[in-house]
Amino acid sequence: MQEIKKRKTTGQITLFDVARYAGVGTMTVSRALRTPDRVSDKLRQKIQIAVDALGYKPNVAASLLASASANRVIAVITPKIYDHCAQLWLNSLQTHLAKEGYTTLLIESYHYYKLESQMLDALYSHNLEAILLFQVEDESFIKQILQSKIVPILNIGKDYDGLTNMNVGIDDSLAMYMLTEHVIKKGYQHIGLLCANQEYQIFQQRLHGWHKAMLAYHLPTHRVINAAKPANFSTGSELLPDMLLNWPELDALICTTDELACGVLYECQRRHIRVPYQLAVTGFGDNEFSQVSFPALTTVALPYKEIGEYSASLLLDNLKNKKVTHETDLSALAPVVRLRASV
Amino acid sequence: MQEIKKRKTTGQITLFDVARYAGVGTMTVSRALRTPDRVSDKLRQKIQIAVDALGYKPNVAASLLASASANRVIAVITPKIYDHCAQLWLNSLQTHLAKEGYTTLLIESYHYYKLESQMLDALYSHNLEAILLFQVEDESFIKQILQSKIVPILNIGKDYDGLTNMNVGIDDSLAMYMLTEHVIKKGYQHIGLLCANQEYQIFQQRLHGWHKAMLAYHLPTHRVINAAKPANFSTGSELLPDMLLNWPELDALICTTDELACGVLYECQRRHIRVPYQLAVTGFGDNEFSQVSFPALTTVALPYKEIGEYSASLLLDNLKNKKVTHETDLSALAPVVRLRASV
DNA sequence: TAGAAATGTGATAGCGCTATCAAACTTGAT
DNA sequence: ATCAAGTTTGATAGCGCTATCACATTTCTA
């Protein structure tokens, strides 16, 4: 039996207290809690009683330090949690990771502008097993994370030249190409693009997809408003007049988000513009309201749910040290155009 | 000088390595990093060079264990992060806490249904300083958290009989009362209520507020649809026909969320019902789209931004061990009715 | 210039836990 | 009954860090 000495302590109930109460060694208590099958039934029961009686809570910092084991915690960094895409993806990801016992720590990087290193320090203090970046565009920030490369990093979005350990690409450009192609094939000739949030690469990609499709079908690409405003409902309402003023011949308007498109639809109603007869309108993203709106919004859906699932499995495989080259049928991750009443 | 011995280590660069490289004691390195002003400039520079050269990253588990200090991390538990209210509140809260160097750990409790204790274990492993509950309704879950009462707990929402250490109430009932009163004063007589998500207390409170206002003005309270469906756009569109069928005399419809109301507006357009001339419609929450919609939605705004700010200051005061009874002008937290074109 | 006070630095002893290994106790085959 | 092999248990020695105190050094006061 281990020496029973008086220690000055933080007041917390420790393994030692439990061991003394149960009349066993600390190691046996530790085992009873971590690997119960390596302890006899009799002692295990005794120990359980002691744990309950004393209200013992393990000190995970000590456990981590002693075992140098990881924490089953992954961090997700994304600029804007409330984005519809982020919602779908996160929801799917978290569900899958929670099943495997992982806790997800969400960080909205927006709040840590100029506080990045502080935030990272706090992050690393959690003994993370991995970091996921979702549509993080700040390359210097990514590099800063990678510098202190102590855990695997999975990036969702544009691949920064293989900087990250793993990358799951999302092809916004392709999605917009497909959508534009559908509109073109419907016979529209004077197709404009309404792009907000132009400062973000992801919107540049959407613009690029439109541009490419227009060129491919020999259509003019000058009818573009590219604004540095939030891509929300009011911006849509606000910018429609400019579009109509500049290009009265417009017969279709492609918006880079469903919110913009929805704002445009409202403005059309205010101005008695009949959609799609006078003007066809599309969004991007297949948000919840796009199939309920009046008229229902033609849009393109990116498979964020599947991407979330794929991200989770890729990450879990990597953490389990299986092959990192996880071959999956990526066709399941292709964008889907939803043609509705507004085109 | 401290004995330089060979240790078996996890391979990580330790304080000891930095100390040896810089030719100082470990304690000096520790101080140079934690309390730089207690170390001479000369040694501090030397140590900084050693830290950079070796790429030293502190092991926070060890630091926590040795100092028994807290982590500047608070956890927020909420059933649904993507809720508009949660967004506003969280955004405001996080901004204020980030300024004070706190990192916010977001947990969507939905993902941990039946995994609560596992999730809590993971949570506690972070040496949290506090836990915030936002509109958590599962009382047994709250009790479970409180059982292991190791950190202050701040609850936002209904007060569970003083179970939590601190409580910031949000009066949904009052907000709905105010809204209903406005509608009544506009002269509407046949006022119905469309309530979804009836299983949640927060929606019961809204229903209650409507009921109370109707009684106060001697108006009938039977025109209610109380559905166990998600309070979203499509439910609004879907349930409007039932309302109209049951009560053709309806001249105003109050919806328990803006999403429901927006769905109702769309359905009105499909059915050529002129709002507000044939039917007035209101929402609840003042979501972004409610002022852009056509017609713009009359609704009531709860001051989640202010509540977030108040929560942050209350929590910070508590953590700093100032007076916990933080008196604030709570009138700033009162709901605000926004009368718009739809009523 | 001596002595007191303030400041800077390092050796030590844990924080609460687990890896490790040796000791004690089973079990089963001879 | 005996020994080999398996199983269960506990004492020990750290994990990497910081609180603490003692000692060394500097600065200030009389």
Helix or strand or coil: residue B281?
Answer: strand
3-class SS of residue A252: strand
Q: What pLDDT was estimated at residue B310?
A: 92
A to B CB pairs, distance under 8 Å? 131
Find the angle CA(A144)-CA(A158)-CA(A118) to the nearest 5 degrees: 25
Structure tokens given for B231: 């309070």
SS3 content of chain A, % helix, strand, coil (to 5): 45, 15, 40
Task: Return the DSSP state at A276.
Answer: T
A114 within a domain of the structure (yes/no): yes
Please check whether residues A232 and A309 belong to one and the same domain.
no
Cβ neighbours for A30, distance < 8 A, ≥ 6 positions apart:
A15
Has residue A256 got a pLDDT over 90?
A: yes
Task: Check residue A328 and give its pLDDT.
Answer: 55
User: Which chain A residues contact residue B103 at CB under 8 A?
Assistant: 107, 119, 122-123
Query: Do B109 and B257 belong to one domain?
Result: no
Nearest-Cα distance to chain B for A206, in Å, is 23
Mean pLDDT of A60-84: 83
Other CB atoms within a 10 A radius of the CB of residue B142 amount to 18
Is the CB of A16 less than 7 A from some atom of nucleic acid strand C?
yes
pLDDT band at A82 (very low <50, low <70, confident <90, very high): confident
The alpha-carbon gap from A111 to the nearest alpha carbon of chain B, in Å, equals 6
Q: Quick check: B9 pLDDT over 60?
A: no
Q: Does A42 lie in the same domain as A186?
A: no
pLDDT at A3 over 50: no
Residue with minimal CA–C1' distance to D25 is B40
Supply the CATH number for residue A43's domain. Answer: 1.10.260.40
Chain A, window 218-237: residues with a beta carbon less than 8 angstroms from a chain B beta carbon:
232-234, 236-237
Rounded, the Å distance between the CA of B12 and C1' of D5 is 39
Residue in chain A closest to B110 (alpha carbons) equals: A95
Residue B57 CB partners (closer than 8 Å, separation 6+): A124, A148, A150, B12, B13
Q: Is B148 on the interface with A (CB under 8 A)?
A: yes
Percent of residues, chain A, with pLDDT higher than 90:
53
Residue A154 pLDDT > 80, yes or no?
yes
Instruction: Go through A85-123 and write b for each residue having 16 or more CB atoms within 10 A of its CB, e for each that does not.
Output: bbbbbbbbbbbbbbeeebbbbbbbbebbeeebeebbbbb
pLDDT reading at A30 higher than 90:
yes
Range of the domain at B49: 15-67
Half-sphere exposure of A29 (CA within 13 A, CB side): 25
Q: How confident is the model at residue B271 (pLDDT cuts 50, 70, 90)?
A: very high
Question: Residue B148's domain is classified under what CATH number?
Answer: 3.40.50.2300
In this structure, is the CB of residue A31 within 7 Å of any atom belonging to strand D? yes
Rounded distance between C-alpha atoms, residue A22 and residue A49, angstroms: 8
Q: Say whether A279 sits in a helix, a strand or coil.
A: coil
Cβ contact A7 with chain C strand, < 7 A: yes
Please give, rounded to a whole number of angstroms, the shortest distance from the CA of A220 to a CA of chain B: 31
Across A61-75, B56-70, B241-255, B310-324, which has the greatest mean pLDDT? B241-255
Q: Are residues A222 and A295 in the same domain?
A: yes
In this structure, the answer to whether residues A230 and A252 fall within a common structural domain is yes
- Condensed to tens digits (0 to 9), the pLDDT of residues A83-142 reads 888 989 999 998 898 888 787 878 888 777 666 666 776 676 667 788 899 998 887 788
Q: Which one of B26, B48, B67 terminates a domain?
A: B67
Of residues A327 and A207, more confidence is placed in A207
Measured from the Cβ of residue A20, the count of other Cβ atoms closer than 10 Å reads 18
CB B266 within 8 A of CB A288: no
Strand partners, B168: B156
A95 contacts B111 by C-beta, under 8 angstroms: yes
In a domain, A224, yes or no: yes
Interface test mutation site (partner B, options A15, A82, A99, A114, max chain B beta carbons within 10 A): A82
**Residue A222 resides in a domain:** yes
Name every residue whose Cβ is closer than 8 Å to that of residue A162 and which is 6 or more positions away in sequence. none
Q: What is the pLDDT of residue A115?
A: 64
In a domain, A46, yes or no: yes
A266·B294 Cβ contact <8 A: yes
Dihedral in degrees, nearest 10, Cα atoms B213, B219, B224, B230: -30
Q: Is strand C in 7 Å reach of the CB of A42? A: no
For tokens 């409180």, what's the residue? B146
The CA-CA-CA angle for residues A14, A18, A19, to 5°, reads 110
Judgement on whether residues B122 and B95 belong to the same structural domain of the protein: yes
pLDDT for A57 equals 84
Partners of residue A95 in chain B, C-beta under 8 Å:
111
Q: How far is CA B164 from CA A278, B122, B152, B327, in A?
A: 58, 21, 8, 18
Alpha-carbon distances of B180 from A304, B202, B211, B224, B250, rounded to whole Å: 39, 17, 9, 14, 15
Question: Are both B278 and B254 inside the same structural domain?
Answer: yes
Establish if A336 belongs to a structural domain: no
pLDDT tier at A5, thresholds 50, 70, 90: very low
Question: A139 CB contacts (<8 Å, ≥6 apart)?
Answer: A160
Chain C bases near protein Cβ (<7 Å): 8-12, 14-20
Residue listed under structure tokens 């004995």: B3
Given this model, what pLDDT does residue A6 score? Answer: 35
Tokens of A267: 């403005």
pLDDT for the residue B233 = 93
Instruction: Find chain A residues with C-beta within 8 A of B101's C-beta.
Output: 118
A166 and A309 share one domain: yes
Contacts of B57 in chain A (CB under 8 A): 124, 148, 150
pLDDT at A227 over 90: yes
Å between B189 CA and nearest CA of chain A: 28
State the Cα–Cα distance between residues A106 and A97, nearest whole angstrom: 13
> Is there a contact between B253 and B343 (Cβ–Cβ < 8 Å)?
no
- Residue B278 or residue B114, greater confidence: B278
Query: Position of tokens 């600390």?
Result: A26
Number of domains in chain B: 3
Query: From residues 278-307 of A, which are strand C contacts by CB within 7 A?
Result: none
Per the CB < 8 Å rule, is A289 touching B64? no
> Contacts by B54-57 with C-beta closer than 8 Å and gap 24+?
B54/B13, B54/B17, B54/B18, B54/B21, B55/A148, B55/B13, B56/B13, B56/B14, B56/B15, B56/B17, B56/B18, B57/A124, B57/A148, B57/A150, B57/B12, B57/B13
Are B261 and B218 contained in the same domain? yes
Between helices B201-216 and B172-185, what is the axis angle to 10°? 40
> Which of A64, A103, A267 has its CB closest to that of B122?
A103
Q: Which of A91-95, A252-256, B149-153 has the lowest mean pLDDT?
A: B149-153
Question: Which stretch of DSSP H or E encloses residue B319?
Answer: helix B304-319
Asked if residue B8 belongs to a domain, the reply is no
Asked if the structure places residue A236 within a domain, the reply is: yes
- Residue-level pLDDT at B8: 46
Q: What is the mean pLDDT of chain B?
A: 86
Pair B266, B150 in one domain? no
Share of chain B above pLDDT 70, in %: 87
Tell me if chain B has a CB within 8 Å of the CB of A87: yes
Is pLDDT of B325 > 70? no
- Minimum CA–CA partner of B291 in chain A: A234
Across the interface, which of A81, A291, A294 has its CB nearest the CB of B270?
Answer: A294
d(CA B185, CA B298): 14
- In the structure encoding, which two tokens stand for residue A340, read together? 């509705």
The beta-carbon neighbor of B111 closest among A87, A95, A107 is: A95
Q: Inform me whether the C-beta atom of residue B266 falls under 8 Å from chain A C-beta atoms.
A: yes
Q: Which of residues 6-45 of B touch strand D (CB under 7 A)?
A: 7-12, 14-16, 26-27, 30, 33-34
Q: In angstroms, what CA-CA distances link B7 with B10, B12, B29, B336?
A: 10, 12, 19, 65
How far is CA B286 from each of CA A108, A295, B195, B227, B301, rounded to the nearest angstrom?
23, 23, 16, 22, 5
Distance CA(A50)–CA(A204), nearest Å, equals: 62
Nearest CA in chain A to B289: A233
| Residues belonging to chain A | 343
Nearest to B108 among A60, A94, A118 (CB): A94
Which pLDDT score is estimated for B3? 38
Q: Quick: pLDDT tens for A171-223.
A: 899 999 999 999 999 999 999 999 999 888 899 999 999 999 999 999 999 99
Q: Are residues A181 and A297 in the same domain?
A: yes
pLDDT at B152: 82
Domain stop point among A50, A67, A84: A67
Pair B211, B133 in one domain: no
Domain boundary among A33, A67, A101: A67
Q: Is residue B5 part of a domain?
A: no
Distance, CA of B43 to C1' of C1, in Å: 31
| Interchain contact A64–B (C-beta under 8 A) | yes
pLDDT of residue A324: 54
Mean of per-residue pLDDT scores for chain A = 86
**What would the mean pLDDT of B210-218 be, rounded to a whole number?**
98
